[in-house]
Amino acid sequence: MFVIIGIIVVFGCIGGGYFLEKGNFMVLLQPAELLIIGGAAVGSVLIANPLSILKKLVSSGLQVFKGSRYTATVYLDTLRFLSEFFDAATRRGLVSLEDDVVDPSKSALFQKHPTITKNPEALYFFCDTMRSVLIGGIAPHDIDHIMEADLEILQKKSKAPAAALSTMADSLPGLGIVAAVLGVVITMGALGGPPEEIGHKVAAALVGTFLGILLCYGFVGPISQNIKKQVDDQSEYFSCLRMALLCYVKDIPPALALEAARRSIPHNVRPTYEAMDKACRAARGAGVAA
């Protein structure tokens, strides 16, 4: 929502200022300049990135307009899931949950929590870690090192779309200059013609530079920064999972493990202790009844 408002403010203020100066908007409508700049920018991204990153770039760009997926509700449901899982492991033994961990798509426990099942990275991270615990004989600090290595790879992969878009933003001013130079070349070929025609071609050439700078600093660059912030939100979410799992493998009581996980959540989306306790009590009660 705020992204759309920001885009409207950027273009509205620039257009409004141009209008107050009695500028002619028809001069700014230069499809050829936009084709040169936008096409070259998209082509450079296609050259520099494999298909997997391009797909992730599209999905990350769409997620920018939806907002961060890691809200207080998501964190609370995650804590509820962890409480129910740890409680079942304590009552029945972790071995009894092996089938759930191996194939979470057939697990009633996992399917009750779409927050986890609809987040493939989080689901794989949790299940892969619990598989390592089920193997047995692995010290808690070794489990922590495995989780750390897994998260480093995930973070590197998640940052790739933002880096690709940032590179595109950096190239836009230069591509705007390319479009402007081509416009000057066309203008030089029209020397000797009517002054109005020459003036129009010079204006079109300058619009290329204008579009390149505007798209860089007013649109593509800020979206790249937004994607980076969403990657940080993802890292904070996985840090919460990591804290809960590490406490569990250290044989810390589930209640303290959940509190440690809650304390690792950023303040702006951190559920209160009362909210977590109420949700987890309800989850444990449902698990006992089942």
Q: Which tens digit of pLDDT belongs to each residue from 185-240?
A: 888 877 777 777 777 788 888 888 999 999 999 999 999 999 999 999 999 999 99
Per-residue pLDDT, averaged over 168-188, amounts to 89
Q: How far is CA 261 from the centre of its chain?
A: 22
Backbone angles phi, psi at 76, to 5 degrees: -65, -40
Gap between the terminal Cα atoms of the chain = 41
What is the reported pLDDT for 283?
64
DSSP annotation string for 235-289:
HHHHHHHHHHHHHHHTT--HHHHHHHHHHTS-GGGPPPHHHHHHHHHHHHHHHHH
pLDDT the model gives residue 285: 60
Give the whole-angstrom CA distance, residue 197 versus residue 130: 72
Which pLDDT value is given to residue 93? 87
What's the confidence (pLDDT) of residue 66?
87
Asked which of 1-10, 114-123, 195-204 is least confident by mean pLDDT, the reply is: 195-204
pLDDT band at residue 160, thresholds of 50, 70 and 90?
A: very high
Please check whether residue 126 is in contact with residue 240, taking contact to mean a CB–CB distance below 8 angstroms: no
Domain that holds residue 93: 2-289
**Radius of gyration of the CA atoms of the chain, in A:** 27
**Res. 147: pLDDT tops 90:** yes
If you average pLDDT over every residue of the chain, what do you get?
88
Q: How many helices (H) and strands (E) does the chain have?
A: 14, 0
Q: Quick check: 260 pLDDT over 70? A: yes
| Number of independent structural domains in the chain | 1
| Interior angle at CA 91, CA 90 and CA 96, nearest 5 | 85
Confidence at residue 198, expressed as pLDDT on a 0 to 100 scale: 79
CA 240, 246, 251: angle at the middle one, nearest 5? 130
- Backbone φ and ψ for 152, nearest 5 degrees, come out as -65, -45
Mean pLDDT of the 253-269 span: 92
